[in-house]
Each structure stands twice: as structure tokens, then as C-alpha cells.
Amino acid sequence: VASPDAAATTTRARREATGSNVGEKRIRWATQAMPVMAAVHERFAAERPFEGLRLAASLAITAETAVFARAAIAGGAELTLCSCNPLAVDEAVCRALSKEASVLAQRHSSLEAYYEAIRATCATVPHLAIDDGGDLIVALQGDRRSHRACLAATEETTTGVSRIRALHRAGRLSFPVIAVNDAPTKRLFDNRYGVGQSTIDGILRATNALIAGRRFAVLGYGWAGHGVAARARGAGAQVIVCEVDPVRALEAAMDGYEVMPSLSVAQIATVFVCVTGRPRALSAGHFERMPDGAILCNSGHFDVEVDVGALRAASVSVQEVRPFVEEYRMPDGRRLYLLAKGRLANFGAAEGNPPAIMDLSFATQALTLASLACSERQLPPGMHDVPASIAAEVAQAKLNAMGFAIDQPSHEQEAYLMSWRHGT
């Protein structure tokens, strides 16, 4: 018979492994790296910008998202949260948040369950929506009651911004959407330093592979590609960039990377990371050429960049060889290793972007939402930028928290910039 002490310890261990305690610890850990959000939380608690408003968010549900959610709730929001990706759900965090918000998400849910959660979120008839990838905004447009009630929305990622722009071009967007992704305090940091680090983290956690000395292909040299390439180079890889945009390809070349067409890289690289935001960046022609042991990874928003259907069709067997690693065996005996089933590997196999990065993304989101909630002026339907003053405020707060001071331009310098009179 176990002693009462041992029984209590076992019960506590079990509770910690399964209960909201684990989620709380993760949220606490994230909070200490998010000082800008701490200040936003305090301000929202005092000013209550969302009093009487229903907010609906479709986001990766992580500890950092919980920090954002709690700030919105402190600001008076009635919040419903669903996931923007079936893999990007931390269930311990969902449990921890479930007393304060309605959380409609399950990790590894089927696509039907995923879209059912999106529809249920729409059915709350939100006043403001926060999206990451566009699924919630697209669904809101299809819901008669909700698209009339929704005052505005924000969009967190590159792929979502291009989807919502297309929705607007098709004449099917009934409310304004702010492209939070395009704010400098989002994409220069989250897409670059966040995705750069967390994608390498996902590859390492999934495979424990040595990066040094490998030929490492980065498909897509946007901000996410800049980050992945820089971090792979930092770990000792020989980085090769594949692009379709000549300006970005030229930039990669002058940043010191090898630049090649993807079918040529397919023959020599042993790690492939897609961050293009487009379908089939890697497909049958690439799989035919890849060397034995090649690692295939996607960090673009949707699971369309590695053509998993073509990979399956080309293979003779598929088996999971480690968590988040599937081995596809080709007829000639080569083995190709797909991470996180071709979904976002930085969320699937790691924890997503670090909290210090999400501090910037969520502070930009939160202040943008508060400005929408408090504005007298209704923006027209369409895509809009985050006000430059919000990006400057977030960057300044982060600099302060990091202990960096900067100079102010003098009156003379400001006047010089405003004048056409001064020449040589």
C-alpha cells in the first residue's frame, strides 16, 4: 500500500502531466519573456477598450497566444478562440485558458472537426476577428449574421494577407482587415528571427541531425526564408536558396548564398525547407532526384508546399520512424524523411516562435485591435496597414525592455528632411 505522501506525490505528478497546471507553467514561462505584452495587459485592464465586445480569434494556440488572450480579456473582451491549424494546438494551454475564454480546439483534429470549430467560432457573431491564415475571415463572409456584425478583423500571416486581398478583389469582403503581418514589428521579427530559429528547432527536435556541413536548401527568400537561411548558415550549413523572384534571388546571392533552380538543388541538398507560401514547391520531379536520407520540411502556413500526395504515390512504403518523422521509401531504396506530415514543422515538431518574438507580434495585434475598437471612424472594406505610430510604439517599448536607448533626430535634421531647398 502506498504511503499517503507517495500517493499525494503520484496524484500531483499526474495532475501536473494532464491538468491545467502544465498549461499555467507554460504561460508563466512565456509571460516572463513578453514585457511589452505585460504593459499592454496593464493598460487594457485600466482602459477596458473591448468592454461589451465579442472577439473571435483563430490562432496557433500556444502559451504566447494565451498571454495575448488574457490581455484581451483584461481589456473587457468576451473571447472565443479556435485554432488556425490542427497541429498548432497546445492542449495544456487550452485547458488553462478554458475558464476565461471559450476554447474550441483539439490537437490533431480531423479537417471536419477543424472547420466545425471555425464555424462554431463564427456563430458567436464576433464584433472583431483575429485571424492567422484567413480561414476565419473567409468563414465569416459566408455566415450571413456574422459578416454584418463584424466591424473589422486583423490578419497575422503572409498567406492570410494574400488570401484576404484575393477575397477583396473578388468583391467578397464586407469589412476592413488590417494586415498585421505587414507591420515591420511583425514580419521583420516573427517571420525572420522567429521562423528562422523555430524551424531549425523543429528540424533538430524531430531528427537530432547535425546541420553543420550539410547542403541545406531554402525554398523562398521572403522574410521567413531570410531567417531560415541565416540560422542554417549560423549552424554551419552550406545554404542554397531557390527563388522565382529575380530581385529576391539577387538579394540572396549578394547575401552570400548559392542560388540555384530547385531541380538542380534536389540532386545535392540533404535538407529542404519550404517557406514560399505556394503549392508544390517540392514535387515529384524533386523527389526523384533527392539523395538517400534527405529531410523535407515545411514552415509555410499551409501544408501545400511539399506535395505529400506525389511523395506517397512515388514511394513503396511509409512508416513513422520517430515522432514527427515519416520515412518514405522509394522503389530504388532511397529514404526521404518528411517532418510533421508536411505541416508547419516549427509548430508540429517544436513550440512555434519564441515568446520574446511573439511579444512583438501580439503587442502589434493588441494595439491595432484596441485602436479599431476605440476608433470613431469606420474604415472601408479592404486591406489596411497597421498605423505607423503603433509599430513605433511597440518597437520603442521592446527596446526599453531590452535596455537599449536610441537618439532622437534634432529639429535641424527634421527640418532638413521636410525641405527641398538644400542641395550640394
Ligand X SMILES: NC(=O)c1ccc[n+]([C@@H]2O[C@H](COP(=O)([O-])OP(=O)(O)OC[C@H]3O[C@@H](n4cnc5c(N)ncnc54)[C@H](O)[C@@H]3O)[C@@H](O)[C@H]2O)c1
The binding site for ligand X (CB under 6 A) comprises 157-159, 187, 190-191, 195, 219-225, 242-245, 248, 262, 275-278, 281, 299-301, 344, 346, 353
The whole-angstrom separation of Cα 127 and Cα 373 is 9
Cell matching residue 355: 515568446
The whole-angstrom separation of Cα 39 and Cα 363 is 9
- Of the pair 64, 190, the CB lying nearest ligand X is at 190
- Of the pair 187, 398, the CB lying nearest ligand X is at 187
**In the complex, least distance from residue 137 CB atom to ligand X, rounded to whole angstroms:** 14
Cell matching residue 390: 503603433
- Of the pair 199, 207, the CB lying nearest ligand X is at 199
Tell me which residue of 43, 106, 31 sits closest to 72, measured CA to CA: 43
**In the complex, least distance from residue 348 CB atom to ligand X, rounded to whole angstroms:** 10
Beta-bridge partner residues of 344:
298
**In the complex, least distance from residue 238 CB atom to ligand X, rounded to whole angstroms:** 18
**In the complex, least distance from residue 70 CB atom to ligand X, rounded to whole angstroms:** 21
- Of the pair 353, 365, the CB lying nearest ligand X is at 353
**In the complex, least distance from residue 356 CB atom to ligand X, rounded to whole angstroms:** 14
At what angle are helices 195-207 and 223-234 packed, to 10 degrees? Answer: 50
The whole-angstrom separation of Cα 66 and Cα 354 is 14
**In the complex, least distance from residue 268 CB atom to ligand X, rounded to whole angstroms:** 16
Closest residue to ligand X using C-beta atoms: 222
**In the complex, least distance from residue 201 CB atom to ligand X, rounded to whole angstroms:** 11
Cβ-contact 346, 275 below 8 angstroms = no
Cβ-contact 79, 73 below 8 angstroms = yes
- Of the pair 265, 373, the CB lying nearest ligand X is at 265
Other residues' Cβ atoms within 10 Å of the Cβ of residue 180: 31
- Of the pair 78, 359, the CB lying nearest ligand X is at 359
The whole-angstrom separation of Cα 243 and Cα 265 is 12
The whole-angstrom separation of Cα 213 and Cα 297 is 18
**In the complex, least distance from residue 222 CB atom to ligand X, rounded to whole angstroms:** 2
Cβ-contact 179, 361 below 8 angstroms = no
- Where are the extended beta strands (E) located within 275-324? 295-298, 317-322
The whole-angstrom separation of Cα 363 and Cα 67 is 10
- Of the pair 24, 132, the CB lying nearest ligand X is at 132
- Of the pair 191, 365, the CB lying nearest ligand X is at 191
**In the complex, least distance from residue 218 CB atom to ligand X, rounded to whole angstroms:** 9
For the four alpha carbons of 123, 124, 130 and 132, in that order, the dihedral sign comes to negative
Cell matching residue 346: 516549427
Convert 111-147 to b/e letters by CB count within 10 Å (16 or more is b). eeebeebbeebbebebbbbbbbbbbbbbbbbebeebb
- Of the pair 231, 301, the CB lying nearest ligand X is at 301
- Of the pair 83, 158, the CB lying nearest ligand X is at 158
Q: In whole angstroms, what separates CA 386 from the centre of its chain?
A: 18
**In the complex, least distance from residue 277 CB atom to ligand X, rounded to whole angstroms:** 3
The whole-angstrom separation of Cα 277 and Cα 263 is 18
